Amino acid sequence: MEHAISSARCVIFDFDGPLCHLFARRTAASVARRLRETYADRPDSSAGTWPETTDPLRLLTAAFDDVTLLPQERVREMERSLSSEEVAAAKVAFPTGYADTLVRTLCATGRTVAVATDNSAEAVEHYLAGRSLLEAFGGRVCGRVSDGTAPLRLKPDPDCVLRALESTGADAAESLMLGDSARDVAAARAAGVGFVGYARNERKERELREAGAEWVVPSLRDVLLTVDPLAHA
């Protein structure tokens, strides 16, 4: 991990996990319930084919993948509703330990930082602005893209990682992604960038290692100390 970090010109962060705990207060389950009540449990929806899940992104993906679930305009409304929920969650999200200091230290040592996430870019920007970090990312926030008609290109599709990489101007070989899921591992691999996993518990560590992550840390402090051995944040 030390060599990967020291040689990286660009570090791409996943949002929910490595930068913050997005649904710490407004839980993912409560967001999924509101989406289900508004869109799945309505006369214009085929409620029986919706997945049983507490993950709002899975509900949204289902609506995009199965055209029989909702009319296209309602799919677009659903995506906007989820974006609004994510913005509200971002305003009360818990910061991940050492994340703010890591971002500032990476910038101070000449690295470029970006975000690649399945969440809405607007939610990310609200969160970063509240932590006085938005300027550090310089517009390099690459979130969910949708017009309500094409399939969603969420991870493990590398789309958002590739867009983040392009925004930095760095080569994939000189870049690294910090993520916390098997989908992040796969997206980073498909984009050709290195990967460091953040695992806040044993289940996450097992998931990341089974997905092929070579480097997994329980705290971003380990990454911070690799970037700056004198950091004691």
Burial class (CB in 10 A: 0-12, 13-18, 19+), 31: buried
Residues 210-223 have a mean pLDDT of: 96
Please report the pLDDT score of residue 160 as a whole number.
Answer: 97
Cα–Cα distances (Å) from 192 to 58, 174, 187, 208, in that order, read 26, 10, 9, 17
Boundary-marking domain end, from 37, 68, 90: 90
Are the CB atoms for 4 and 196 separated by under 8 Å? yes
Domain that holds residue 128: 2-21+94-227
Q: Are residues 152 and 62 in the same domain?
A: no
Q: Are residues 36 and 146 in the same domain?
A: no
Are the CB atoms for 23 and 119 separated by under 8 Å? no
* Torsions phi, psi for 117 (to 5 deg): -145, 155
Q: Are residues 77 and 184 in the same domain?
A: no
Confidence class for position 225, pLDDT limits 50, 70, 90: very high
CB atoms closer than 10 angstroms to residue 192: 14
- Whether 196 has a pLDDT exceeding 90, the answer reads yes
Boundary-marking domain end, from 49, 71, 90: 90
The token duo for 194 is 């290195």
Q: Are residues 69 and 131 in the same domain?
A: no
- Whether 171 has a pLDDT exceeding 60, the answer reads yes
Q: Is residue 114 part of a domain?
A: yes
What residues contact 166, with CB distance under 8 A and at least 6 apart?
Answer: none
Coil, strand or helix at 138: coil
Residues 159-163 have a mean pLDDT of: 97
Helix axes 72-90, 28-35, angle to 10 degrees: 150
pLDDT digits (tens, 9 = 90+) for 33-66: 999 999 987 766 555 589 999 999 999 999 998 8
Please report the pLDDT score of residue 72 as a whole number.
Answer: 87
Q: Are residues 59 and 106 in the same domain?
A: no
Residues 4-30 have a mean pLDDT of: 94
Domain count, the chain: 2
Confidence class for position 226, pLDDT limits 50, 70, 90: very high
Confidence class for position 147, pLDDT limits 50, 70, 90: low
Q: Is residue 233 part of a domain?
A: no
Average pLDDT across the chain, whole number: 93
How many whole angstroms separate alpha carbon 74 and alpha carbon 148? 9
Coil, strand or helix at 68: coil
Q: Is residue 100 part of a domain?
A: yes
- Whether 97 has a pLDDT exceeding 80, the answer reads yes
Are the CB atoms for 115 and 15 separated by under 8 Å? yes
Q: Is residue 232 part of a domain?
A: no
How many whole angstroms separate alpha carbon 29 and alpha carbon 17? 16
Q: Give the CATH number, domain containing residue 137.
A: 3.40.50.1000
